[in-house]
Amino acid sequence: METEAQLIQACLQNDRNAQRKLYNAYAGRMLVVCNRYAQSTAEAEDILQEAFIKIFLNLDKFRAESTLGAWIKRIVVNTAINHLRSQQHFQEMSDVQDFENQMSDFQTSIEDINFKELIQMIQQLPKGCQMVFNLFAIEGYKHHEIAEMLNITEGTSKSQYARAKAILQHILSVK
């Protein structure tokens, strides 16, 4: 069995079998990530394909400062962001408190929702809200990091997140 370093080296030498092994090792998990940002499975697959092209073109830049999986995920997330950014303009919102007040008045449980249903609900969000929701709630980035990544203000990140939560709670209430 090859080590990760040997697999990377073989990929760098354009060994198609090694590239297939690397792709097969990560594609399933990364498609789940792409689905959180995409509006459809087809769009998620396009993002995944674009991300793996970047991964293979930049594999020589992997420095093992993190795990290969973390490095690949970062490329996938950035590819998804760039894909959505090319299609989306963020809606500036200033009254975050309005959304926070709405959310505190409305409690919803998602215990009875399966993963696929949750992804479908997230895919219904406007793209700006969807991107911020994914980065904050799922990927664990802070609002100031999201603002920097997306070239928006921290307030816009917070308001997009609040709006996403309000929309998701509305979707849950009518379900």
Instruction: Mark whether 114 and 167 lie in a shared domain.
Output: yes
Question: What is the reported pLDDT for 92?
Answer: 47
**Helix (DSSP H) and strand (DSSP E) numbers for the chain:** 9, 0
Instruction: Sort residue 14 into left (φ over 0), alpha (ψ -120 to 50) or beta.
Output: left
Instruction: Report the CATH number at residue 148.
Output: 1.10.10.10
85, 107, 141 — which closes off a domain?
Answer: 85
Q: What are the tens digits of pLDDT across the range 66-119?
A: 899 999 999 999 999 889 878 765 444 444 444 444 444 334 445 556 777 888
pLDDT digits (tens, 9 = 90+) for 10-53: 999 999 999 999 999 999 999 999 998 888 899 999 999 999 99
Q: Which two tokens stand for residue 114?
A: 């399966």
| Per-residue pLDDT, 174 | 80
Domain that holds residue 62: 4-85
DSSP H stretches of helix in 13-106? 16-37, 41-58, 68-85, 96-105
**Tokens representing 104?**
């505190």
Provide the terminal-to-terminal Cα distance of the chain, rounded to the nearest Å: 48
